Each structure stands twice: as C-alpha cells, then as structure tokens.
Amino acid sequence: MPNPSEVFKATRSCEMCGQYKIKAFFYQWKSILTDLKKIICHRCAMREYFGTNYKQNKQYQKWSEDGNN
C-alpha cells in the first residue's frame, strides 16, 4: 500500500469522501493500479493506509505511540 505524502494544511473538500474540511491536513494519494492521483483528507489517508477500522489496527496503535500522529 502506498504511503501518502503530506501536501499541505488547507480548507477544501476531500476528493475521496467529498466532505468539506476547514484547516485540515491533506495528502496526495496515488493508486498503484491506475496511477490515479487524488488530494485526500487525513481520515481517508489513515483508512487507506491502515484499513477501515484503523484505530483498532495494531500497526496504527504502534505508529501513534511513536509520536507520528
């Protein structure tokens, strides 16, 4: 699974979930199969990287304990 790279903190809508976010972190996401690029919010980036229930994922818990949150 590709690691999303941080783009910027801005006010805009997420291209994946469609929600309008105010002063949120956005990431550039690139699909492996189709080379499709989207600007996605922090929540969608975490779901893509760690899975749907990412807060229960052991890798996410270890990642957040290391101070990467």
For the whole model, what pTM was predicted? 0.73
pLDDT of amino acid 24 = 87
Give the confidence band of 1 by pLDDT, cuts at 50, 70, 90. Answer: very low
How far apart, in whole angstroms, are the C-alpha atoms of residue 63 and residue 7? Answer: 20
Q: How large is the average pLDDT for residues 49-57?
A: 87
Q: Are 59 and 65 in contact (CB under 8 A)?
A: no
Domain extents in the chain: 5-65
Query: Based on the number of CB atoms within 10 Å of its own CB, is 29 exposed (0-12), middle (13-18) or buried (19 or more)?
Result: buried
- Sign of the torsion angle spanned by Cα atoms 46, 68, 8, 3: negative
Mean pLDDT, the chain, rounded, equals 84
pLDDT tens digits along 8-29: 778 889 999 999 988 888 988 8
> Which phi and psi (to 5°) does residue 4 adopt?
-70, 140
